[in-house]
Structure 1
Amino acid sequence: MAVQPEGAPCWADAMFRDVEGAKRFYGGVLGWTFGEASSEFGNYTEAYVDGKAVAAVVPPMSGQEGHSQWCLYFASQDAAATAARVREAGGEVLMEPMQVADYGTMCLARDPSGVVFGVWQAGRHEGFDAMAEPGAYCWAEVCTREPEKSDPFWAALFPYRVKTMQDAGVEFRVYDLGDRSVLGRMRMGDDFPPEVGPYINVYFTVEDCDAAVTRATELGGVLRFGPMDTPFGRFAALSDPQGANFSVIDVTKTEGEMPQMTDVG
């Protein structure tokens, strides 16, 4: 795929204490195969669907052996400039922009409500080779208990057009780039356990949501919500055996009318 525009999700990876266990789980649920671990880059291991790179898994670095979680990266034309905007908008740069050989430049950051994310300035590695097809990434939502802190940050960080969803039953925002919706924002309510911190929930496409949930739970995952039919597809929220949260969605099974969107002034 071509390099994504500024502010578009372009890659996802996660640190796992048990990388082989993560491979077994996601291979079973999403059909991923895996390349060779790159010892030069901390045993970073890419995941593939039909030979196309869709994500990566990696062991934790020293001092980062805590809770596993997916990290979503946003495309940037200039990672240093994006890092500067993170600070200007009230966020925190956790890892300064770092060139990764000729693959690209990365940095890690946190929004004012505590949501951790990545920034990727593409070099030889442009990001996802596939999106919105079985096994591949298709959507993400910023999940926060403090949208009053998070919303101004994301609106300032990237050139988004911001919309709110009407009659959704939840407080929900959508961020567009041009005519394409690229990111959602959900307020975390009482249905989220208090020990679950703010995070970005990544969605992976599956051919059959219910079958994917069955495989996930058989392999030690935990069903958190769903499966549920929506106008966007049938989806379910899960945690993998090491605690990383994610969702699966069958975009071919839709039900109901699309909700109305209103531009945020």
Structure 2
Amino acid sequence: MGEPRARVRCVPAVPCWVSLMARDLDVAQSFYGPLLGWTFQPGPDRWGPYLWAVVDGVEVAGIGVAAGDWQPPVAWTTYFGTDSADRAAEGVRERGGTSAVGPLAFDQGRIVLAADPAGAAFGVWEGEPGVENWMKDPGAPVWIELRTPDPFAAALFYGEVFRWDDQDIDHFGVQYEHERVVLRSEGRTVAALCAVPGAAPHWEVFFSVADTDRAVEEAVKLGGGVASPAEDTPYGRAARLRDVEGGLFSVIAPTAGF
């Protein structure tokens, strides 16, 4: 399969990596590979088997399984970049969140697993810094959205933990649009926080696809399911899906100005 030519870099203050905790790597590969055009490379296995998902030679996501008898829910985790995992973990606790795991060291840096005050799980990654944004190519994560009852309270929490007010305004911005608190990095939209009353708070990963309706059909053929049908949004046509093991994620065909 060849060596990947690049990895997504750790970009402080914004989501910059996503990872799936699956139950069976073969099952996950058989679903996501054909659906998103991924190939796979072996990754670090300190905490159990782990794969890099590769698009056009770039590692864009990870898939792991828990070691031992522990069986956590199948779910995608969004990781925010930081220049100090210790400071971020302390900030989570000081502001009413939960720092559940870490900081733990691994070959790409240090990570923390945490939850915000509303219960939405997320990760923190202190790694080699960079300014690269995710690709918009089909198969790459292109948008991350927090679905929570109170996005403004959430924005205060994440803004304080990741020091949004201290970021260079030429490279980072926060604004309100389309009923969402939106994060922009290097001129592109990368994440949003939106109000979803009654939903369990969580960060949802959106993967870029060329044709959303075709991706929905393919997901069903591969044994997945449709959690929310395809619809047009201000950022592109999107649909919410379930993988074969029940993990939730979304696909979107981004608009030209995304």
Structure 2-normalised TM-score? 0.84
What is the Cα deviation at residue 164 of structure 1?
2.5
Deviation at 1:181, TM superposition (A): 3.4
Distance 1:52 1:179, change over 3 A: closer
After superposition, where does 1:15-30 map in structure 2 within 5 Å? 15-30=21-36
What is aligned with 1:164?
176
Call closer, same or farther: CA 1:7–1:64 in 2, change over 3 Å: farther
Query: Which amino acid in 1 is paired with 2:58?
Result: K
SS of 2:42's partner is coil
Residues 34-53 of structure 1 correspond to what in structure 2 (within 5 A)? Answer: 34-36=40-42, 38-53=44-59
Identity of aligned residues (%): 35
Alpha-carbon separation, structure 2, partners of 1:5 and 1:253: 24
Alignment of 1:1-265 (within 5 A): 3-36=9-42, 38-62=44-68, 64-101=70-107, 103-123=108-128, 130-147=134-151, 149-160=153-164, 161-165=173-177, 168=178, 171-177=179-185, 179-189=187-197, 192=199, 197-252=200-255
8 Å CA contact 2:10, 2:126 repeated in 1: no
Matched residue type, 2:102: E
Aligned length: 244
The one-letter code sitting in structure 2 at the alignment partner of 1:203 is F
TM-superposition CA deviations, 1:151-209 (whole Å, max 9, x none): 321121223354333xx4xx52223457543321122235x5xxxx3211001111111
Give the root-mean-square deviation of aligned CA atoms: 2.6
> 1:35 is paired with a residue of what secondary structure?
strand
Give CA-to-partner distance per residue, 1:20-67, whole Å, 9 cap, x none.
111110012101111136444411111111221011111124464132
Q: Output the CA distance in 2 between the equivalents of 1:235 and 1:8.
A: 22
Q: Is the 8 Å Cα contact of residues 53 and 128 (structure 1) preserved in structure 2?
A: no
Unaligned runs of 5+ in 1: 259-265
Q: Note the residue ranges of structure 2 that are not aligned, 5 or more in a row.
A: 1-6, 165-172
Structure 2 residue matching 1:27: 3-state secondary structure: helix
Q: TM-score, normalised by structure 1?
A: 0.82
